[in-house]
Structure formats: structure tokens, C-alpha cells
Amino acid sequence: MASPTPGGEREKLVSKLPATLRQALKVRAAQLSTDVQDAVAAGIQAWREHPDQPALDTAGAESFGTYLPEGLYDDFKADCRAREVSYIQGLAQSVALWLTQNPAEEVRMVRRFVVCNQKGGVGKTSVAAGLAQALAEGPEHIFKAALAAGLSEEAAQVVGQTGGQRVLLVDYDPQGHLSHQLGLKAIPAGEESLVTHMLHREQAQSFLLDLTVPIDDERFTDRLRILPAAFDAFLLDSGLTIFRGPRHAALERALAPIEDHFDVIIIDAPPSLGLSMDAGLYYGRQRDDERPGASGLIIPVEAEDTSAQAYGMLINQVESLARDYDIVIDQLGLVVNKFDARRGYIATSSRDKWKELGTPPVLAVVPDLKEQREAVRLQKALLSYSPACEQSHAMRQIAKGLKQP
């Protein structure tokens, strides 16, 4: 409940307000640096001056209290009686009117995708890298590849709308497979890295952006960068246990200074359920002023039974973290990776079960073909090595499925 502030006598208002309006009021007031009590008072004043307001559904409204300038509460109740509406309805209309009259400025926020699964070997790295390439790829290149795959010009243009974004790909896995696949070496122990900026940011000498490396390819034209793995990242969990600060926010703390340089940040997470994974999951949460589904988890799985067991373990960790910190972590979708129908009933039935889940949806089924393995051997980006192959198109399909809600 708001409390009285200097500048005049106030009196207490106790009523009820639907949870959606209460949350919207709280967020909007914070965005505009306004006290909630002042926002409600302004809304009631506006409501008194504009009598023709639509009725709102107030079912399930919960207790709400604030303070109003002296005399305004009596005037408000008198108007409610004159209009033959309940105090709850009048307050809801007042808050809704204030929200309409005080729109929030558009806040640009980097989208954050955490590619994760507790099980190793499901292809997290290939999905993270492929998605990053698809989002950074120039629309003209996507258009040509889509036409080559037999899509109509109209359909090719739709697919092309997902590209052209500034993307940072973070190798957050101590094994460093992502860095190696793209021809980069892990940052040696003792040198500044993401780990340094997470645990000892005050001692860091470099701007984290300076540690990122561009993927030099005309398809991406400086839009795609990678933050290489750190050789000593396997010590991150133990470092976080003695970290003096909110451990779950350590990754966000490190990346926050460079978020404005990118449209999307993709985290290639480790196959872990430890503290570093908690920090990764927390980074992908839905922020207060962010649209639902804008950021969250992308979960690669395989069409076999052990993937389902690992998925259950991951979801338990996600739900536990969400409860502990009262946050929302959106599962944006599954990617059934390395699929080969020739493996028979186990593969096809498992794929169908993933699709039947419905929530989260299956964003793509990525076939197990040679192009990905060849690109890794040559240390090239898949979409550069074989832009028209089925796997490349599957990566673009994932990107399309993650279009800004």
C-alpha cells in the first residue's frame, strides 16, 4: 500500500482491483517514475471529468489500498453513486483510464534466448549457432536460399523478415564446443573473460564487448559476434558459491553493459544443473517491462526416451528457480534435433510425442544430415557452408517461430 507523502493531507482508500490492472498500474508507474498513489489520484480525477467509461470485468478483484488527497475519496464515492456503479468498478475504470492517458515510452530491450538441456549430446551447440546465424543472416541471402528450396516469392519474403539482426552468441559451456566449431580458441586461464566479468567485474580492465569476436562472413556483415568460452569456466560453479552478491544474477550483471549493442543474445548453456545454469536460466526470464514470449528457453531434444527424462529434470530446475525468485521463465519451444526416421519406431514415436506436448511447441525438426558435421570439421558456419541444405532451413524455421510477439 502506498503511504502518505508531504505536500497535503491524504486519506486512506481501501477497495478492490483486478490483479491485471494492479500489475499494469505498478509497472507503468515505475516506468514513468510516478508514485502509485499519485497515479490513482490522477486517474480518479480524469474519471470524474469523463463520465462515459466502458464497464470492466472486475470478477476476482483483490484488496487494494492507497491514499488520496483529502476530499477526493468522498467526491469519488458520490460520483459512483450518481453513475450507479460500485466503488470497485469506479476504481477499475479510473485506473484503466490513467493507463490509457499515460502510455509508457517504447522500451527497447535485447531479446535473450537460452539454449539449454541437462542432457549432453542433444545438439545444443549446433542449435545455438544455427539460430544465431539465421537471425543475423542478411534478408537477401535468406530470400535466395528460400527460393532455392522451392518457396514462393511471398513465402521467401516472410522468412527473410527474421534476419538482419545484431546477434551475440555466448559460449557459456566450459567445454567450449561452440568456440571450436567456429574456429576460435577458448580464452586462456587467468585472462579476462566472461567468467572474470561475472565474478570479479570490479577488477576487470577490459570492456566485455572488446572480448567478442566477429564472424567474418558476408552473409552476416558484422552483425554476428561470439563471446568465446573461458578455459577456467569449469570453476564457475565453485566461484559462485563464494560470490559476494546475488549469484543468480551474475550472468546478467556481466552482460548488462553490452546489451544495447545487440538485438539478440543467445546463450549456449552447459549440460548442468548447477549454479551457473541457475544464472543462465535467470538471465532468460521475462523482465518486468518485457512482452511475454520475447525471451526465454529453447530446448533441443532428441527423438528417444532419455531426452524426455532429461527434459523433466530441466523443467524441475526451471520451476524451482521461478518459485524461489518469483519470476516467469518462458519455454519458447523445443527443437527435435538429429532426427533420422530410419531409426524406426522409437524415433518416429518420440518425435510425435514431443509434438503432442503442444506447450512448449516444437519449433523445428532438424534432420541428422552430413552438412552440419562437415561444417564443424571445416570450422565454418553452417549457413555459410551449406545455406540451402535442410538443416539450414530448419534453423531459419526456428528463427521464424521466435518472431517478436
Q: Got the DSSP string for 250-302?
A: HHHHHHGGGGGG-SEEEEE--S--SHHHHHHHHHTSPPTTS-TTSSEEEEEE-
pLDDT value of position 3? 46
Q: How far is CA 183 from CA 116, 188, 191, 225, 379, in A?
A: 22, 15, 19, 13, 5
Per-residue confidence in pLDDT tens, the chain, 405 aa: 344 444 457 889 989 999 889 989 988 888 888 999 999 999 999 999 998 999 999 998 999 999 999 999 999 999 999 999 999 999 999 999 999 999 876 667 899 999 999 888 888 999 999 999 999 999 888 888 878 777 777 777 766 677 899 999 999 998 999 999 999 999 998 889 999 999 887 777 778 999 999 998 999 988 999 999 998 888 888 888 888 778 899 999 999 999 999 999 999 998 888 899 999 999 999 998 788 999 999 999 988 878 888 888 999 999 999 999 999 999 999 999 988 888 888 889 989 998 998 889 999 999 998 999 999 999 999 999 999 899 999 999 999 999 765
Residue with cell 490483479: 19
pLDDT value of position 404? 67
The distance of Cα 339 from the centroid of its chain, to the nearest Å, equals: 26
pLDDT value of position 107? 64
> Which strands make up the sheet holding 167-171, listed edge to edge?
213-214, 224-227, 167-171, 264-268, 111-115, 296-301, 331-339, 362-367
Q: Count of CB atoms within 10 A of residue 399's CB?
A: 27
Cα angle: 271, vertex 275, 279; to 5 degrees: 90
Q: What grid cell was written down for 83?
A: 453513475
Rounded CA-CA distance 258/260 in Å is 6
pLDDT value of position 226? 97
Taking Cα atoms as reference points, which of 183, 177, 186, 170 lies closest to residue 131?
170
* Torsion angle of C-alpha atoms 79, 83, 88, 90, degrees rounded to 10: -60
Rounded CA-CA distance 359/225 in Å is 31
- Contact at 8 Å (CB) between 264 and 113? yes
pLDDT value of position 180? 93
Rounded CA-CA distance 267/295 in Å is 11
pLDDT value of position 99? 95
